[in-house]
Amino acid sequence: MLGHFNLQLIFDHFDLFRHGLWWTCLLSAMGWISAVSLGLTACALKLGPVRALQRSAGFYIESIRSTPLLVQLYFLYFGLPEIGIVLPEVAVGVIALGLNSGAYMAEIFRAGILKVAPGQIEAARSSGLSAWRIQRHVVLPQAVAYAAMPLMSQTIVLVKDSSLLSLISITELAFAAEDFYSRFFSPLEGYVTIALLYFAIYLILNSASDHWARKIKTITGTG
């Protein structure tokens, strides 16, 4: 298998991988948007004044973080049709990705907000700023800076997690490798190719994150 690693075969059928790459990017983008919206909502509820909402946001976050994505994915994939909700696989995949990463993002946003020193909020209050202005001008700008780096890490995790969607037969990058294997019966070419493509996405996101890290240092004054 190693002796005849067939490069030509990869180039001849690169369309397969291009299609997969496109779907991986699209699914990740849609998953990211759902995750950020869910994360912000859950974070707001958890920090908000209503006890019951705090509890339910907490329940969502803890139960997602303590169970594997694959189980969540199968739960939705097998479970939704049983309760009469029939959705296309892509929708199920995006919901699973969004629900999963949303819980992690909620914690990231919350940690960012709580990291802002209480003394600053007290100082702002005694300077006569309204509650809204304190959030808008003191807390949120710093919270965004604190949350940016972990958010990028979670984004990288989300892109990698989208590979699990191949298991409910969504034709993304990991599915392309499987497809390649079943057509040509040589598995390594396909999996090494997609490994390199995933790695390329990682390098792009990682360098963007490093670039921001340097800018953010000037806002927060720390690492």
Partner 1 sequence: MYFENLALLGNYAPFFLKGVWTTIWLSAVCLALATVTGLVVGTLHQLAWKPVRALITVYIHLVRGTPFLVQLFIIFFLLPELVGLELSPIPSALVALLIHGTAYIAAIFSAGVASIPKGQWEATAAQGLSLMQTLRHVAFPQIFQFVLPPLVGQYVLLIKDTTVVSIVGVTELTKSGLLIASRIPEGVTIFSVIGVFYFLICYPLVHLANRLEQRFTPTAGN
Q: Which of 28, 72, 171, 209 binds partner 1 (CB under 8 A)?
A: 72
Q: What is the chain's alpha carbon radius of gyration, rounded to the nearest angstrom? A: 21
d(CA 19, CA 9): 16
State the chain's maximal CA–CA distance in angstroms.
74
Q: Which of 14, 22, 59, 78 binds partner 1 (CB under 8 A)?
A: 78
> Is there a contact between 157 and 213 (Cβ–Cβ < 8 Å)?
no
* Residue 77 interacts with partner 1 (CB under 8 A): yes or no: yes
Closest to partner 1 by CB, 37 vs 208, is 208
Residues in 81-110 that interact with partner 1 by CB under 8 A: 82-83
Residue type, 47: L
Residue 23 to residues 17, 60, 94: CA-CA distances in angstroms?
Answer: 10, 28, 11
* Residue 62 interacts with partner 1 (CB under 8 A): yes or no: yes
Nearest alpha-carbon partner for 116 in 90, 95, 96, 135: 135
Residues in 27-56 that interact with partner 1 by CB under 8 A: none
Tell me the H-state helices in 83-139. Answer: 89-115, 118-126, 131-133
* Residue 141 interacts with partner 1 (CB under 8 A): yes or no: no
Closest to partner 1 by CB, 37 vs 85, is 85
Footprint of partner 1 (CB under 8 A): 1-2, 62-63, 65-72, 74-75, 77-79, 82-83, 114-120, 156, 160-161, 163-164, 166-167, 174, 177, 187-188, 191-192, 194-195, 198-199, 201-203, 206, 222
